[in-house]
Structure 1
Amino acid sequence: MAVNHPFDDARAPRRRRDRWLQHEGLNFVLTNRVPRAALTHLVGWFSRIECEWLARLSIAVWRQFTELDLSDARETRFRSLHACFTRALKPGARTVDADARVLASPCDAIVGACGTVRDGQLFQAKGMPYTLDDLFAGSPLAAHYRDGTWATLRLTSAMYHRFHAPHDGRLEHVTYVSGEVFNVNPAALARIPRLFCRNERALLKTTIAGGHVVTLVPVAAILVASIRLHALDVRLHLKYRGPNEIACDVPFAKGDELGWFEHGSTILVFAPRGFTLAPGIAPGTRIRMGQALMRLP
């Protein structure tokens, strides 16, 4: 005769809630068929309220819907929800692969679609193609990657939200592209054509050791729509009005912090032909900042 675990009754509501939240159709409606811009502005305002008890309450609610783990955070008490979203790590919490032949992951993430760009076309999900020219909004940068290698790195809301340099090099130019704030979760990627090309994003042109041009494309999303870069004294967000082309010349070492999202989203990494995905990198793989993402030619 089956015997119930003493905690089964306590866990049942959470399991039912998880099944409810994971239903793709419902998830899609709740996160995309809403006034996305207005909701994003509202959450942005709320998250910056500095009140420690409100932050604790908000984080407690947040934990009910995500696997939030603050064990590697430098601070564990936060004055605002925003401070928790953009938290720094304890020293030594991540190890950066020191091999000069390795392009390291710029962030903690779940790997999405990845592989070789085929004549300027790639995929956000099975059967959902988009083009480099569309994503890069006509930037000549796209020419570097016609037959290059790319990887989609999705940050969930519970993950560490800062991103770092994948190799030694220089940040040379930033292109800001204003746009929509659709969710970028798998349910949306499977339903909304050209989603990354429609959302707010930035193109970060870097030249790494060896002269290779590698571009990071942070893509904002609902409740996020805000990207900060240490190299720029501006916040790239829905109310930003330019300039859209920003020249810069900032050196960095592999693993240096480049900036952060203010909630969680996606970073697309583009490398020229000759780069290959590191062993084990495939859709669904979980990766941490500093681990091998690609190998140089």
Structure 2
Amino acid sequence: MTEATPAKTDARFADRAFVALQLCLPTRWLSLLVFKLTQLRAPRFKNALIRLFLRGYTIDLSEAEFDDIERYDSFNHFFTRALKPGARPMPGNAQAFVSPVDGTISQFGTISEDRIIQAKGHSFSLYDLLPGDADAGDFVGGEFCTIYLAPYNYHRIHMPIDGRLAHWNYVPGRLFSVNAATARALPNLFTRNERLNARFDTPAGPVALSMVGALFVGSLETVWSGRVTPPHLRHASDGGPYTTMQPVALARGAEMGRFNMGSTVILLAARGAIRWAQDIAPGQPVRLGATLGNWRRAGA
């Protein structure tokens, strides 16, 4: 489990150089350009782009809704592809708190007061992660898990536990890469980047899910609001939080949103709400539906 107090960073010269390059790049413009390119429907262009991507990454299309690239309308349609029904069965244990995505565990553990570990030597405040949330203090001393989605991962986001949407908000920000190199070298990475935060009322108490945008992440989307970005804003005209006109109740394993290109999801739960599984560790790949731990009923 993650230590409460970060030590000296593991950042290398190459990590710092990569961050310095990103600081000079027009990341919002580049991300918008990638979004527009991935939306193009010209068959020859989108098929060539998909084939190029498949040569660069190992992707199992046998579990995808369509295994024939001709059936995808655009590269984005392919990138945000759905899975075949039953491809990610939920565990039989109703108390299992599951991974909402395919990805790699970056960090997890107990929040030390309001500080969340980003990487060795770096932490950030949950109040900075959840600006405008008057109830962010509910997660002080609570539990967190950060999962990184690489470009080759399945990019839809699902519920880790049954929940009813309480409120959500969009937070403008930068669009730095969220890979391990940037996490090691750039302080407060996840609170600098654009993100969408959603808070749910669950049997384990409040659970928040933060969808953190990143370089070349062309779109953040939820099932209740549709596409939220682009445009990638520098300042929010109304930071929320927002509540939906109709109640939004989602079962464990139900889709709640999606990314275009790789990014990061941060899960937050209240103090003592989650007992993490003994066999998970930072750097470990996980798949949607894998048990991260067991949740404890609020007030029990």
Q: TM-score w.r.t. structure 1 length?
A: 0.86
Aligned residue for 1:130? 124
1:139-288 matched pairs, under 5 angstroms: 139-210=133-204, 212-239=205-232, 243-245=238-240, 246-248=242-244, 249-274=247-272, 275-288=274-287
Q: Note if contact 1:174-1:247 (Cα within 8 Å) is conserved in structure 2.
A: yes
Is 1:118 aligned with 2:115? no
Give the partner amino acid of 1:70.
L
Structure 2: distance between partners of 1:31 and 1:81: 25
RMSD of aligned residue pairs (Cα, Å): 1.9
- How far residue 25 of structure 1 moved from its aligned partner, in angstroms, is 6.1
Moved more, 94-103 or 170-179: 94-103
Q: Note if contact 1:200-1:225 (Cα within 8 Å) is conserved in structure 2.
A: no
Structure-2 change in CA distance of 1:65 and 1:26 (3 Å): farther
Give the partner amino acid of 1:208.
T
Structure 1: distance between partners of 2:77 and 2:185: 32
Give the partner amino acid of 2:65.
R
Aligned residue for 2:9? none
- How far residue 127 of structure 1 moved from its aligned partner, in angstroms, is 0.1
Q: Note if contact 1:165-1:253 (Cα within 8 Å) is conserved in structure 2.
A: yes
| CA deviation profile, 1:190-228 (whole Å, cap 9, x unmatched) | 111101001001111001125x10000010101114211
| CA deviation profile, 1:92-127 (whole Å, cap 9, x unmatched) | 111112322111111111000111100111211100
Structure 2: distance between partners of 1:27 and 1:81: 27
Local SS of the residue matching 1:38 = helix
Structure 2: distance between partners of 1:62 and 1:145: 39
Give the partner amino acid of 1:284.
G
Structure 1: distance between partners of 2:191 and 2:17: 24
Local SS of the residue matching 2:82 = coil
Aligned residue for 2:58? 67
- How far residue 179 of structure 1 moved from its aligned partner, in angstroms, is 0.6
Residues matched between the structures, number: 274
Q: Note if contact 2:15-2:185 (Cα within 8 Å) is conserved in structure 1.
A: no
Structure 2: distance between partners of 1:50 and 1:31: 30
- How far residue 38 of structure 1 moved from its aligned partner, in angstroms, is 1.3
Structure 1: distance between partners of 2:227 and 2:261: 17
| CA deviation profile, 1:32-73 (whole Å, cap 9, x unmatched) | 642211111111111000022211211222234333332211
Unaligned runs of 5+ in 1: 1-22
**Percent identity at matched positions?**
32
Structure-2 change in CA distance of 1:67 and 1:32 (3 Å): farther
Is 1:47 aligned with 2:38? yes
Structure 2: distance between partners of 1:152 and 1:182: 16
Unaligned runs of 5+ in 2: 1-13
| CA deviation profile, 1:71-106 (whole Å, cap 9, x unmatched) | 211013222111111100011111112322111111
Give the partner amino acid of 1:122.
I
